[in-house]
Amino acid sequence: MPEGPEIRRAADKLKRALEGQRALSVRFAADRFPALQSSGKCLSGRVIEAVEPRGKAMLTRFAGGLTVYSHNQLYGEWAIYRGEAPPSHLQTRLAIRTPTHSAILYSASEIEVLRTADVNRHPYIAKLGVELLDPAVTEADVLAQVCAPRFARRNLAGLLLDQGFLAGVGNYLRSDILFAARLHPAARPADLTPAQRAALARVALRMTRQSYRTRGITNDPQLARRLKAQGLAFGAYRHWVFDRAGAPCHACGHPIVRVDFGSRGLYLCERCQPGPA
């Protein structure tokens, strides 16, 4: 599933192609979204005022007070073409055509048309926690969330996937944030020292923003460059621990292990991230 950095990069591309343009046509897949067919006709001809990522969702705001909410879920993918979109084996769910570009959302399963005034009341948007990729968010904001009593007794493995905690974090960020902060996934905020809580806040903010800037690299940038120069493939140098089961830890050489937390695989170094007492 795309995580916050991937959604924001997609939003950047959509902004450049769509913002300020008039939508010649807006089409929703009739078989998947029959109730949105009239909305497509209503949105066609309107100016696209803004594209905004929120957590793992995308908001495409049209003139006249309407916004398209979309969530890629596991398989959704945005593509932008100059002119008409070419044929594709992927399932088109939403197609926006302007005089210069076509923006196509493939394979997504969650799309709605909302009144712009109601966007912040949408169930997903309303529950979002601190947005790590919001430029206005500071380390102090993240630390306050880490220290909030309502999260104190939940294990970090589950908490980091809760969009009501830190919006935009998904499975690869979860594993690498915990590794870089030297925290075990079974630990809870209540179990952490002040220094550990500060490390979690600092790493979560820094790593998520680094992933956005570097197209998904969560490893130490200098180490990643050295490993790339040695001929390693992108997947081998991209992450600290994620998807590296059996490979040596970049920090200590101990084999990385994969464990299941909350029905999803999580990766860690048992030497660098010892379990709570």
Catalytic positions are 2-3, 56, 264
Task: Report whether 47 contacts 74 (CB < 8 A).
Answer: no
- Closest C-alpha among 166, 79, 56, 69 to residue 111: 69
How far is residue 63's CA from residue 48's CA, in Å, rounded to a whole number? 6
Residue with tokens 């130490």: 220
Residue with tokens 């073409």: 81
How far is residue 143's CA from residue 139's CA, in Å, rounded to a whole number? 6
How far is residue 190's CA from residue 197's CA, in Å, rounded to a whole number? 9
Task: Report whether 217 contacts 210 (CB < 8 A).
Answer: yes
